[in-house]
Structure formats: structure tokens, C-alpha cells
């Protein structure tokens, strides 16, 4: 089923309709879940309408892929079993000896993939402070791929995207941007010239903490066949049911992100003013060192807030244990509010000395702000802080 063109519509309309039109035969307004593993062929080697095997072609997955490509402004989209599978599939397009320059403030799982697995196959990795404009002035001439998160996980640092994109292209490299925290509602790196956008669709794209998935969207049509070949060959595709759940969640992305951003700003302002909080990190605060860049580069400031408690990990553990509305859990981007400590949880795979060197202190708390009433979230934080 071909999707209707939504290019002339605003984001709120596109996010509801992209990737699918009502089925011609039945009028179904949502794509069916095509759970078949294989398809009847009209003759040997002549698949009907190009459909052979669901690892290779699946209508439900195609609907999600097309919707994400539309929203990011890309030539094609590909969806995967997880965000890590999306990143891994991108790395499979490289060859031994290729150099990857990455931000030094990455999700722990991404750092683990780069440092302990991809290096086994001959890829070279350099890490830079991607938030520092001067760091982009002298990329190695043999750089093949640049990989950044913006905002980063967990320190919410911003990469100056236009500077990074121009720097990568000057040395003949491609650049991939993990857009998980921002989503296409807040920023669209492909429109600035990035070559790839990565998502953990587990997070804001699906938005309900009930499905794991990933996505990669490409800017250049010429890369489509190569990326499809690697996705299909590695078998990293997501299931039809997971694609269905993710697409269902995607339809409410705009309204959810508006509430996430509104609540996060209220929480950040509360924390910044609280005497027991040593430091609050949120791009929407004037105190954020890249606040001006955030106002230029992003439509709004996102739903993630971090803060530091003095005294290290022990008071941080006591704080998270005292919360009642916030659930202590990894992941983020769901409708419910979550809290975690990056050092012993999501970023435990990064050596402690490396964590501290890049600013991930033991007392750092990461909040994923949900869509509950902001006053209730603040009251929960206040009572937990009062126990310290």
C-alpha cells in the first residue's frame, strides 16, 4: 500500500498519516499485522509484487519505515530489533581499517559496541568532546564515519550539528546522528546535511514502554540498496507485531512531546532552585552552557532532565528509593516518568575513570519526564529530597 504524500502538511498531520493510506480492499485505517513468514510465488523465482520472505519484505514494517523516513525528511527508512541493532547494521557497511570519530559522551551500550565488539573487526575509534566547536576543526583525514548523540545521553550535551556535518564532509566522511532524545519533532539532522539518523524507537517514537526497536534513516537515495542489503543479510529486522506497536505509538508523538517538554521545563526549574541539588542539567535552562545553541537547533528542549546530588552515589540511591511516582528503571521516553542512576545502571559498561573524566559523576540522577501532571511530579521530587 502506497502512503499518501504528506510533504505539504505540518508535522502534526504528517505524524498521524505518514507511511500508510487506508487499505484499498478493506478500507483499514491502520496497516494489518502481516505475521506471515513467507509468500506464495506466481512461478519459481517470480514473487508476487516482489514479496518473498518477511525478513526481506513485510508490509507492516514497510509502513513504519516509510513513516519515519517521511518525518525525518529522508530518502528511506529501515527498522530493527533494537537501537543497538540499527547502529550495528550501520557499522557493517564499514570495512577493517575504517576510522570512526564519535562523541565521548555516548550511551553506555553504544560505547560497549564500539570499544569491545567493533574493534575486534578492525574498526578504529576516536572520541572527542562533540559539544566543543574547536574539536571539529581537525578531524583525521582518514575519518570514514562521524557518530554523535545530540542531546547526549546522559549529560545532555549538544553537538553543533551544522559545524559537525560540515567538518565530516570536508574530510570525505559520512555523519550519523542519534536523534533518540530529540525525535524528528524537535530536530531533523538530515535537513542540515547529515547522512544518517539513528533512533532507539523503544523510547519516544513508540512512547509507551511496551516494545523494543530501532531505526536508521538515510538522506541519500543512492545508499538505499546497500543499507537494505545489510539489513536483510544480517537479519536485524524487527517483527511485524513490534512494527505495528511502534507505528501506533508514533501517531501521538507530537502531542506527547509537547507534554514531555512542558513538564521537563517545570521540573528543571524546580530542581535548579532547590538547595539540596548541586547542579541541574537541562538545555531549556539559561544556565545550560549551550542554551543558545539549543534555541537555534531544536524546536523545544526535550523530556530529559539530569541533576547532581552532593555526596556521591549513597544519597543518590537514597533519593531514588524515596520516590513514589517516578519508577526506578532504565530506558526513557515513555508516558510514565522514570528515574535512574547512570553510573551503576545505563552507563555501568563505561569504566569508572572514563565516566568521571567526561562528567558522569556517581551522584548524577537522570530523569525521563513523563506526561503526568507536572505538579504531581514536582511534589514527588520534593518529598524525596526532603528525606535526604
Residues belonging to the active site: 55, 107, 178, 203
Q: What phi, psi does 124 have (nearest 5°)?
A: -105, 140
* Residue 161 near residue 189, CB atoms below 8 Å: yes
* Residue 51 near residue 78, CB atoms below 8 Å: no
DSSP 22-70: --TTT--SS------SB--EEETTEEBTTB-BTTT--HHHHHHHHHHHH
Half-sphere exposure of 345 (CA within 13 A, CB side): 21
* Residue 61 near residue 238, CB atoms below 8 Å: yes
Q: Measured between alpha carbons, how far is residue 374 from residues 187, 208, 325, 361 in Å?
A: 24, 18, 11, 27
Residue 132: enclosing H or E segment and its boundaries?
none
Rounded Cα distance between 180 and 184, Å, is 9
Question: Nine-digit cell at 273?
Answer: 532552585
Cβ neighbours of 138 (radius 10 Å): 10
Query: Beta partners for 174?
Result: 145
Question: Nine-digit cell at 360?
Answer: 558522569
Amino acid at each position: 500500500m502506497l502512503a499518501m504524500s504528506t510533504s505539504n502538511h505540518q508535522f502534526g498531520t504528517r505524524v498521524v498519516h505518514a507511511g500508510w493510506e487506508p487499505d484499498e480492499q478493506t478500507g483499514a485505517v491502520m496497516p494489518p499485522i502481516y505475521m506471515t513468514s513467507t509468500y506464495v510465488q506466481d512461478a519459481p523465482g517470480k514473487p508476487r509484487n516482489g514479496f518473498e520472505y518477511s525478513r526481506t519484505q513485510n508490509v507492516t514494517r514497510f509502513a513504519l519505515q516509510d513513516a519515519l523516513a517521511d518525518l525525518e525528511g529522508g530518502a528511506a527508512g529501515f527498522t530493527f530489533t533494537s537501537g543497538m541493532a540499527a547502529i550495528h547494521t550501520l557499522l557493517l557497511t564499514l570495512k577493517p581499517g575504517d576510522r570512526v570519530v564519535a562523541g565521548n559522551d555516548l550511551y553506555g551500550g553504544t560505547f560497549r559496541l564500539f570499544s569491545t565488539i567493533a574493534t575486534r573487526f578492525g574498526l578504529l575509534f576516536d572520541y572527542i568532546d562533540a559539544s566543543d566547536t574547536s574539536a571539529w576543526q581537525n578531524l583525521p583525514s582518514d575519518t570514514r564515519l562521524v557518530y554523535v548523540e545530540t542531546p547526549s545521553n546522559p549529560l545532555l550535551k549538544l553537538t553543533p550539528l551544522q559545524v559537525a556535518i560540515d567538518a565530516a564532509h570536508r574530510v570525505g566522511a559520512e555523519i550519523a546522528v542519534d536523534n533518540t532524545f530529540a525525535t524528528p519533532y524537535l530536530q531533523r539532522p538530515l535537513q542540515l546535511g547529515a547522512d544518517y539518523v539513528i533512533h532507539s524507537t523503544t523510547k519516544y517514537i513508540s512512547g509507551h514502554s511496551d516494545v523494543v526497536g530501532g531505526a536508521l534513516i538515510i538522506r541519500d537515495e543512492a545508499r538505499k540498496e546497500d543499507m537494505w542489503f545489510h539489513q536483510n543479510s544480517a537479519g536485524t529486522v524487527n517483527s511485524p507485531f513490534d512494527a505495528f506497536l511502534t507505528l501506533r505509538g508514533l501517531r501521538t508523538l507530537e502531542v506527547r512531546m509537547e507534554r514531555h517538554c512542558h513538564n521537563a521545563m517545570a521540573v528543571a526549574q524546580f530542581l535548579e532552585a532547590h538547595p539540596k541539588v548541586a547542579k541541574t542539567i537541562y538545555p531549556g535552562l539559561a544556565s545550560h552552557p549551550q542554551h543558545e545553541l539549543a534555541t537555534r537547533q531544536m524546536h523545544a528542549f526535550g523530556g530529559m532532565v539530569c541533576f547532581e546530588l552532593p555526596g556521591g552515589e549513597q544519597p543518590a540511591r537514597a533519593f531514588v528509593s524515596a520516590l513514589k511516582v517516578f519508577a526506578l528503571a532504565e530506558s526513557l521516553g515513555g508516558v510514565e516518568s522514570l528515574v535512574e542512576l547512570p553510573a551503576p545502571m545505563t552507563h555501568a559498561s563505561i569504566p569508572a575513570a572514563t565516566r568521571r573524566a567526561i562528567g558522569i559523576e556517581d551522584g548524577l540522577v537522570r530523569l525521563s519526564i513523563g506526561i503526568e501532571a507536572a505538579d504531581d511530579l514536582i511534589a514527588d521530587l520534593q518529598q524525596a529530597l526532603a528525606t535526604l
